[in-house]
């Protein structure tokens, strides 16, 4: 039963190049983001300027653990969009492709945000 579910889940992933490559690139970027954060985590100060859209002062600072927020948000978007993409692909392949590219763009922006934040500190 579980094998059938997994086979059905990845059927469209293998068939469409746009979905396949955008998903693989997004997964790679999320993995690299996690590795980079873990590699530099212990050299980070206790507070980081994560919330730059807030007014000047302590409101802009977040604890060191909050550097994982963009990764968690990106992974949750990725999982939700992946299941939605598989549900929509049979009826609307163009919408599924657009959803996979949107997921890739969210992942790229999260990766850039994390790199800039860490390079600001380190």
- Within 10 A of 82 (CB to CB), how many other CB atoms are there? 20
pLDDT of residue 47: 83
List, for residues 8-37, the tens digit of each pLDDT value: 666 666 678 888 899 999 999 999 999 999
What residues form DSSP beta bridges with 63?
47
Query: What tens digit of pLDDT does each residue of 75-119 get?
Result: 999 999 988 888 888 888 888 889 999 999 999 999 999 998 888
The encoded tokens of residue 56 equal: 């000047």
pTM, whole model, 2 decimals? 0.84
Mean pLDDT to the nearest integer, 40-66: 80
List of E strands, 25-81: 47-49, 61-63
Q: Select from 104, 101, 85 the least CA-distant residue to 93.
A: 85
Domain residue extents for the chain = 37-121
């Amino acid at each position: 039963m579980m094998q059938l579910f997994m086979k059905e889940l990845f059927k469209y992933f293998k068939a469409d190049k746009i979905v396949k490559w955008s998903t693989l690139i997004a997964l790679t970027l999320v993995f690299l983001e996690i590795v980079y954060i873990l590699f530099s985590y212990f050299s980070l100060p206790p507070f980081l300027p994560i919330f730059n859209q807030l007014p000047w002062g302590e409101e802009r600072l977040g604890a060191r653990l909050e550097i994982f927020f963009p990764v968690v948000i990106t992974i949750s978007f990725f999982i939700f969009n992946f299941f939605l993409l598989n549900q929509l692909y049979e009826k609307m392949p163009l919408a599924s492709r657009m959803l996979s590219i949107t997921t890739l763009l969210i992942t790229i922006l999260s990766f850039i945000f994390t790199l800039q934040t860490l390079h600001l500190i380190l």
